[in-house]
Amino acid sequence: MASVAVIDYGMGNLHSVAKALEHVKPGEQVWVTNDPERILAADRVILPGVGAIRDCMGEIRRLGFDKLVAEVVASGKPLLGICVGIQLLTDFSEENGGYPCLGVLPGKAHFFGNTLQDQQGNKLKVPHMGWNQVSQSRAHPLWQGISDNSRFYFVHSYYIHASQPEMVVGRCHYGLDFDVALSHNNVFAVQFHPEKSHDAGLQLLRNFLHWDGQP
């Protein structure tokens, strides 16, 4: 029986992710766990995240999960980053005065700023919270069955700019254009919450549970 491990490092609503996974593929073994052996034994791994980057990275390093994530990446098994998970996988975040991250996906997380405006000059609220369209920059197995410009649910104050454009598989606009889905080899990461994004989000999770880690 296939299994997926949701890495529990004490940050985020992990059980909503687990319930969504169980819903889209009944019978899948879903483990919310901080046990390195169980994480490495799983067929697929999810790195979630909610909260400040300094707190998340502090717990990840304290638990030795920085090395664990590197081992998962090197193993070739599919890894999905969600929300702050995508920021954790990049090189650096501007949050908390600037903080180094895991360096799996070259890029940085930037603050939207306090003067963000729409095209009519109206001030936009930060954090970016709610539904927004995601344009698919290129084809990927995790987009299967999901229409281009489908809407997903976001909650974030920092946005990703990837250093390597070929990694970008999804983009969004909120006062500015930014990267919301990155992929490199067996790693796929999204800024939005698929578990809160209704049909499109559930389809992405379903695709992940069938993905072999190949681009």
Active-site amino acid positions: 83, 193, 195
Q: Is 133:151 a contact under the CB 8 Å cutoff?
A: yes
What number of residues does the chain have?
A: 215
* Distance in angstroms (rounded) separating the CA atoms of residues 74 and 90: 16
* Closest of 51, 50, 12 to residue 32, by C-alpha: 12
Can you read off the two tokens belonging to residue 141? 């197995």
Give which of 159, 215, 143 is closest to 186, Cα–Cα: 215
